């Protein structure tokens, strides 16, 4: 390949808000078979809002919200913002927390007013020996609607189910359809549970959904796709996505995402529009045609 033609391609990308770190990325982009999207913040806005709070016996609505908000005050997860925003709207102030701990891919825990409080997913409750059987059907109902259901436990007893919903980005469906039209397989990768992920995957017509993946395992999933012969681009926005972006044949970072993701990505989508993934692939194909 002649570097000059590749540099023209890189320049065209820059004009379109697609920053490409080097001509060899354009060569790889032409051979892509698979695009893997992170869910939260990439296909969805990453601004979840609390939709349901169902207390189950051990506390009332406001107590449950106060306990969850107290723990989430120490978290930087997008889910935490949803809880804190609603508590603020309800005029509920978080309380002091002792021994706060964020458990990646699980949730948060700590002592509030002398009680051990847990807030997170089913995996967190199972790990801590909290019985969740009584709310299984309720969680599944929320998840079938594409909501993320979280559980609050207090001293080992289940206290509430809290559901939040994120909004799918309006341009995401068009991006998925255009990629498929280019003959590229589309995969969604998420730490969220399989039912919620499947509901969102269906709405976006995504062929393959890989859910319940711990942050530390996202890069391994990319490696497995590569071992199966795929040439993989990973599109993500978060701190958690950086190892997967680095492992992929091409890492594509959303411009509005974390600095770590942008430092790791070989391509940065300045306009934060996922449709620019397709524009980038088309550009690479057009560029390579001029070379061959």
**Selected range binding ligand ADP among 14-22, 49-57, 74-82, 129-137, rule: CB under 6 A:** 74-82
Applying the rule CB under 6 A, the residues between 33 and 62 that interact with ligand ADP are 39-40
Q: Residue 258, interface with ligand ADP (CB under 6 A)? A: no
Which distant-in-sequence residues (6+ apart) come within 8 Å of 75 by Cβ? 102, 108
Judged by beta carbon, residue 40 or residue 193, the one nearer Mg ion is 40
User: Is 38 designated active site?
Assistant: yes
Judged by beta carbon, residue 16 or residue 239, the one nearer ligand ADP is 239
Structure tokens at 67: 């306990």
**Selected range binding ligand ADP among 77-85, 201-209, 270-278, 279-287, rule: CB under 6 A:** 77-85
Judged by beta carbon, residue 16 or residue 246, the one nearer ligand ADP is 246
| Closest residue to bound ligand ADP by CB | 191
Judged by beta carbon, residue 23 or residue 191, the one nearer ligand ADP is 191
Do the beta carbons of residue 147 and residue 164 sit within 8 Å?
yes
Q: Which of 9, 13, 23, 107 touches ligand ADP (CB under 6 A)?
A: 107
Q: Residue 143, interface with ligand ADP (CB under 6 A)? A: no
Long-range CB pairs of 202-210 (<8 Å, 24+ gap) are 203/146, 203/168, 203/173, 204/43, 204/168, 204/172, 204/173, 204/176, 205/173, 205/176, 205/177, 205/180, 206/37, 206/176, 207/180
Q: Which of 13, 48, 120, 236 touches ligand ADP (CB under 6 A)?
A: 120
Residue 120 touches which of ligand ADP, Mg ion, none (Cβ within 5-8 Å per kind): ligand ADP
Residue 219 touches which of ligand ADP, Mg ion, none (Cβ within 5-8 Å per kind): none
Shortest distance in whole angstroms from residue 71 CB to Mg ion: 21
> Can you tell me the distance from the alpha carbon of 155 to that of 28, in angstroms, rounded to the nearest whole number?
53
Q: Residue 106, interface with ligand ADP (CB under 6 A)? A: yes
Long-range CB pairs of 118-122 (<8 Å, 24+ gap) are 118/151, 118/152, 118/153, 119/67, 119/68, 119/71, 119/72, 119/83, 119/150, 119/151, 119/152, 119/153, 119/162, 120/150, 120/151, 121/150, 121/151, 121/193, 122/151, 122/193
> Can you tell me the distance from the alpha carbon of 68 to that of 55, in angstroms, rounded to the nearest whole number?
12
Catalogue the active-site residues.
38
Question: Residues interacting with ligand ADP, by CB under 6 A?
Answer: 39-40, 72, 75, 77, 79-80, 105-108, 119-121, 148, 150, 190-192, 215, 238, 240
């Amino acid at each position: 390949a002649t570097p000059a033609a590749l540099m023209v391609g890189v320049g065209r990308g820059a004009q379109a808000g697609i920053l490409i770190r080097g001509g060899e990325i354009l060569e790889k982009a032409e051979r892509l078979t698979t695009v893997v999207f992170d869910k939260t913040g990439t296909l969805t806005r990453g601004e979840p809002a609390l939709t349901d709070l169902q207390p189950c016996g051990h506390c009332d609505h406001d107590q449950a919200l106060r306990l969850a908000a107290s723990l989430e005050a120490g978290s930087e997860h997008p889910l935490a913002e949803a809880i804190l925003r609603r508590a603020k709207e309800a005029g509920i102030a978080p309380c002091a927390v002792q021994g706060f701990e964020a458990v990646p891919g699980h949730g948060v825990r700590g002592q509030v007013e002398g009680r051990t409080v847990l807030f997170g997913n089913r995996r967190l409750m199972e790990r801590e020996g909290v019985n969740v059987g009584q709310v299984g059907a309720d969680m599944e109902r929320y998840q079938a609607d594409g909501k993320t259901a979280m559980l609050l436990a207090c001293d080992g007893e289940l206290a509430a189910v809290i559901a939040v919903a994120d909004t799918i980005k309006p341009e995401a469906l068009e991006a998925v359809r255009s990629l498929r039209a280019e003959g590229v397989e589309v995969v969604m990768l998420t730490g969220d549970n399989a039912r919620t992920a499947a509901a969102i995957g269906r709405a976006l017509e995504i062929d393959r959904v890989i859910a319940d993946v711990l942050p530390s395992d996202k890069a391994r999933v990319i490696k497995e796709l590569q071992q199966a012969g795929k040439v993989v681009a990973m599109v993500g926005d978060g701190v958690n996505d950086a190892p997967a972006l680095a492992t992929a044949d091409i890492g594509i970072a959303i411009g509005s995402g974390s600095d770590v993701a942008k430092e790791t990505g070989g391509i940065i989508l300045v306009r934060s529009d996922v449709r620019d993934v397709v524009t980038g692939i088309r550009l690479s194909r057009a560029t390579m045609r001029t070379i061959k």
